[in-house]
Structure 1
């Protein structure tokens, strides 16, 4: 299982690519190692949290790490591109590169967790547009749809739907729509933290084994000075 690796293990695996690409970098360095370094720096900080149950900060750090990989710079508007489009395009690319089937294996191993997330109305945009029993039932239909997706091996679709649910709670935290270490939706948050850990470890494995020489697009805010 990929998530048994530590950040130190991943950095060790990445080192040959880092050195090779570093020699090719321009004035501010090659963007691919910079993205990887930024992502790992935030994931490493999770390992340093004194409270292992600090799921609020854990999920925020996890998403920042993910954003370091997927973030795209809009060269025309001179600002970062829209989050959702960027991470969806990124995951499409990652899945297409995943010859080792890290993500497929991860989704199969964590099918129950995937179903639990898709069965949680509090992680659904549809529910929050008009919270009631009817929209809650509609929001939970994704769980049953996912069983067909698994049979048809629609890994990109499953990943997209799960990440969309995680993005919902990420937005609640980032935009101040939740209380730090509050009492509500703790189970939802815990599931998202668990899932995002699995996703990030699998994505980084694909990045190392199959993505070192890919063009990951214009990086946001390259190092200066």
Structure 2
């Protein structure tokens, strides 16, 4: 846990030094998120899906969040960046599947509306893990757009989703790290890239 937190904090610090470069800030914050949650199982031959790993991590955080800091942080921002991101079709994976000609996604608009209803229900019931799962599904699409060259650096197109994504990660990641530090007895998984001492 100490190594995860140390690495995550280092990347959060780097993100804060980015100033107005939202693309770089988002990417550094995503690295911080990976440092906090990624488990060695993801690098083994039989991989878990990324979404399943998210759910497991968020479920653990939500169970430990007795003060409901995650829920309050997301709820306070719901009318702002979180809501805008969840309402943005350009970070909804079925939208891109459809526009890239992949069969079975002609109903992306229905899925989009169903996802919105699911998030609203999760908010009403206080299900932080489900809200985070929906939110990070969208952030993951944005991450893919940036990491895989599907966006232009500092582009004038769809700037709001990058800015909002960076803002959301920027306020949630410190809460995640705090919860991890407050609960060192929990099994946070083994980092796949531990520090190796080659001197011996």
Q: Give the TM-score taking structure 1 as reference length.
A: 0.76
State the 1:80 CA deviation: 7.7
Deviations 1:187-212 (A, max 9, x none): 11111111111211221221122x22
CA contact (8 A) 2:23 2:154 kept: yes
Match of 2:92 in 1: 124
- Kindly report structure 1 stretches of 4+ aligned residues shifted beyond 4 Å: 78-82
For residue 101 of structure 1, the aligned residue among 62, 68, 90 is 68
Q: Is 1:220 matched with 2:192?
A: yes
Match of 2:103 in 1: none
**How many residue pairs are counted as aligned between the two chains?**
191
Question: For the residues of structure 2 that align with 1:130 and 1:82, how far apart are their CA atoms?
Answer: 21
CA contact (8 A) 1:71 1:80 kept: no
CA contact (8 A) 1:66 1:200 kept: yes
Question: For the residues of structure 1 that align with 2:43 and 2:12, how far apart are their CA atoms?
Answer: 31
CA contact (8 A) 2:90 2:96 kept: yes
Q: Secondary structure at the match of 1:220?
A: coil
For residue 159 of structure 1, the aligned residue among 121, 128, 132 is 132
Structure 1 residues 166 and 76, CA, compared in 2 at 3 Å: closer, same or farther?
closer
Structure 1 residues 183 and 136, CA, compared in 2 at 3 Å: closer, same or farther?
farther
Question: For the residues of structure 1 that align with 2:179 and 2:168, how far apart are their CA atoms?
Answer: 17
CA contact (8 A) 2:16 2:25 kept: no
Question: For the residues of structure 1 that align with 2:111 and 2:44, how far apart are their CA atoms?
Answer: 38
Q: Secondary structure at the match of 2:151?
A: coil
Q: Secondary structure at the match of 1:223?
A: coil
CA contact (8 A) 2:5 2:181 kept: no
- Answer 1 or 2: higher relative contact order, Cα 8 Å, separation at least 6: 2
Gaps of 5+ in 2: 101-105
Deviations 1:16-67 (A, max 9, x none): xxxxxxxxxxxxxxxx111111001111112222xx2211111110010010
Match of 2:172 in 1: 199
Gaps of 5+ in 1: 1-31
Matches for 1:51-66 after TM superposition, within 5 Å: 52-66=19-33
Question: For the residues of structure 2 that align with 1:94 and 1:181, how far apart are their CA atoms?
Answer: 33
Deviations 1:46-99 (A, max 9, x none): 2222xx221111111001001001111139937986533323211111111111
Structure 1 residues 185 and 195, CA, compared in 2 at 3 Å: closer, same or farther?
same
